[in-house]
Amino acid sequence: MGSVRSSNKVVLLAVVVLLAIASVEKFAHGANILCLMAVPSPSHHIWNRVLVDALAAQGHNMTVVSPDIELKPKPNVTYIHLEKTYDTIHEGATAIDFYEMGQSSILESMKIFYSYGTSMCIGILASKGYQTIKNYPSDFKFDLVLYDFSCGPCLLAVYHKFGQPPMIGVTGFNTPPYTTDLIGGHKYYAYVPYYTLDYDTNMNFFQRFYNAFLHWADYFYRNYVFLPETDRIVREHEKTKDLPYLADLDQKMMLMLVNSHHSVDFPEPTPQNMIQVGGLQIIPPKPLAADLDRFIRAGKKGSVLFSLGTNVLSKDLGPNRIKAFLKAFAQMPAYNFLWKFESDLPYDIPPNVMIKKFLPQNDILAHPHIKAFMTHGGLLSTHEATWHGVPMIGIPVIADQYRNVAKSIRAGVSEKISLWDMTTEKIRNTVLKVLETPRYREAMSVRSGLFRDQPETPLERGVWWVEWALRHPNAKTIQSPTLDLGPWKSELYDVKLCLVVAVLFVLYLLRKVSKALFSKSAQSGKSKKKVH
């Protein structure tokens, strides 16, 4: 009889264990994940898409709300198109001119960046896709939200609609200065340059002063101009009274994935819930199309890839710059040049130049005959060139591109061409310097080794942390307490002020005592004179 009872207990325990395992498996390998990817930028979409597809391959159901969609999405991925977003960025009164941004002062370009976020939000709210996700039943169950926070909280009314499930922030935009506002931690302006500055970590006094000023200016403009304006636009559209302030919803994320790695980017103090997945978009290269492979191999000394990315377009360079590039390429016949150019060219194309509206950048950079990469210096491009060991010629235009290129120059893996005063001669000489000086490739080989030497790929790390959040949706131990403490306590301003007051009080007492002693000494001297 006792053995029967014991057997029943064992069976019951086994059933409980199996149910627990099944419950964990359900969340780790079959969750409903809502992806709020508001940023109208193909490069952000490339970065986000790789993570989305990897999670879908794990069996998760991905609902992606985005200005960018895939015509043939992977299994388990559903796109909801925010179709008006690009229109507001590129057309009418809300249009953003990236070349104008590139020639503006740093403070002006900061305002243009946030204007980009405002234009983005106007386009999002005007999209049919936004209404589509808003029409989902409010009790529709999403287990997790992935949220690209790079350009503001415009989509967070959707997050609120579905009951504020656990949220992970993601960004392909390095480690923006406002990450500490969202998940806490510390940002030290003494050695972390503002993202549009080409400073190094070892700044002199005036550079540190200017750097701190820009960070503070960004903080105040974002928190007292941009975020209130975004909140007002969304609140007027939603016409609801129970919507929390969007900037407060911004701080709900339990952790964030950032596009950063020490081999390429600046060393920063990171809280435990900031997960560095720099290069997440780099996946094993696919074979190239036959015409591309033939052209690359045909270069007598090798071939060069030229792309200005997805936001600043080659077709907008203007006739003089386009002709300067073509003439320079023609003067280097030993090399073939692949140029990502978004329209047909009305000029004669040299025989060693191939023009394509789209080029598979990661796959081309992995080709052994690619000897250099002419790039705008965007972070994804810098990471991909570094991973594949290809030295660069940087042509920065906007935002963090100047900082990325300057850091690559200091690392000995790149040279720079200024877009604003380029000539055929400068282009030719700079490109040949990188191509025919071995130290650039040698330095890039060292940098690439540091980037590749990781215990797992950045993508695997990102997927693991997303599934960790699914397994532990209420975990608080990983979160920084600085958001609750506020800057007054977390930066020890109260303690520092107390110390300053204490020192001033001691100095005050010393002054009073010395004054009293001096006065007493003077009186004693007068008394002695009277006696004599």
240 backbone dihedrals φ, ψ, rounded to 5°? -130, 150
Task: Measure the CA–CA gap between 134 and 157, rounded to whole angstroms.
Answer: 9
| Least confident window among 99-103, 177-181, 195-199, 301-305 | 99-103
- Amino acid type, 523: Q
- Amino acid type, 201: T
According to DSSP, the residues that pair with 66 across neighbouring strands are 81
Q: Is 168 exposed, middle or buried (0-12, 13-18, 19+ CB in 10 A)?
A: buried
Average pLDDT of the chain to the nearest whole number: 89
pLDDT at 138: 87
pLDDT at 290: 96
For residue 330, the Cα-to-chain-centroid distance in whole angstroms is 36
Which residue in 25, 23, 80 sits closest to 52, CA to CA?
80
The neighbour count for residue 7, using CB atoms within 10 Å, is 10
pLDDT at 514: 86
Percent over 70 (pLDDT), the chain: 92
Task: Measure the CA–CA gap between 194 and 110, rounded to whole angstroms.
Answer: 11
| Least confident window among 32-41, 86-95, 219-228, 238-247 | 86-95
- pLDDT-based confidence at residue 462 (cuts at 50, 70, 90): very high
Contact 404/394 with Cβ under 8 angstroms? yes
Contact 411/443 with Cβ under 8 angstroms? yes
According to DSSP, the residues that pair with 340 across neighbouring strands are 356
Contact 308/316 with Cβ under 8 angstroms? no
Report the length, in residues, of the chain: 532
For residue 25, the Cα-to-chain-centroid distance in whole angstroms is 31
| 3-state helix/strand/coil string of 6-57 | HHHHHHHHHHHHHHHHHHHHHHHHCCEEEEECCCCCHHHHHHHHHHHHHHHH
DSSP secondary structure code for residue 77 in this structure: E
The model's pLDDT over 213-269, given as tens digits with 9 standing for 90+, comes to: 999 999 999 999 999 999 999 999 998 888 999 999 999 999 999 999 999 988 888
Identify the residue with better confidence: 149 or 13. 149
Angle made by CA atoms 389, 392, 396, in degrees to the nearest 5: 140
Hey, what domains does the chain have and what are their CATH numbers?
32-282+458-475 (3.40.50.2000), 290-452 (3.40.50.2000)
Helix (H, G, I), strand (E, B) or coil at 436: coil
Q: Euclidean distance between the first and final Cα of the chain, in Å?
A: 120
- pLDDT-based confidence at residue 278 (cuts at 50, 70, 90): very high
pLDDT beyond 80 at 171: yes
The neighbour count for residue 410, using CB atoms within 10 Å, is 11
Radius of gyration of the chain (CA): 29
| Token code pair at residue 502 | 């204490």
The model's pLDDT over 319-363, given as tens digits with 9 standing for 90+, comes to: 899 999 999 999 999 999 999 998 888 889 999 999 999 999 999
According to DSSP, the residues that pair with 383 across neighbouring strands are none
- pLDDT-based confidence at residue 12 (cuts at 50, 70, 90): very low
Report the predicted TM-score, pTM, of the whole model to 2 decimal places: 0.88
Task: Measure the CA–CA gap between 315 and 329, rounded to whole angstroms.
Answer: 17
Q: Is the dihedral of CA 87, 89, 94, 100 positive or negative?
A: negative
pLDDT beyond 70 at 9: no
Non-local (6+) Cβ contacts of 74 within 8 A are 53, 56, 57
Task: Measure the CA–CA gap between 396 and 405, rounded to whole angstroms.
Answer: 7
| Token code pair at residue 132 | 């589509």
Task: Measure the CA–CA gap between 170 and 154, rounded to whole angstroms.
Answer: 15
pLDDT beyond 50 at 5: no
Helix (H, G, I), strand (E, B) or coil at 468: helix
Buried b (16+ CB within 10 A) or exposed e, 386-402: bbbbbbbbbbbbbbbbb
pLDDT beyond 60 at 28: no
Percent over 90 (pLDDT), the chain: 71
SS3 content of the chain, % helix, strand, coil (to 5): 50, 10, 35
| Least confident window among 100-109, 124-133, 135-144, 319-328 | 100-109
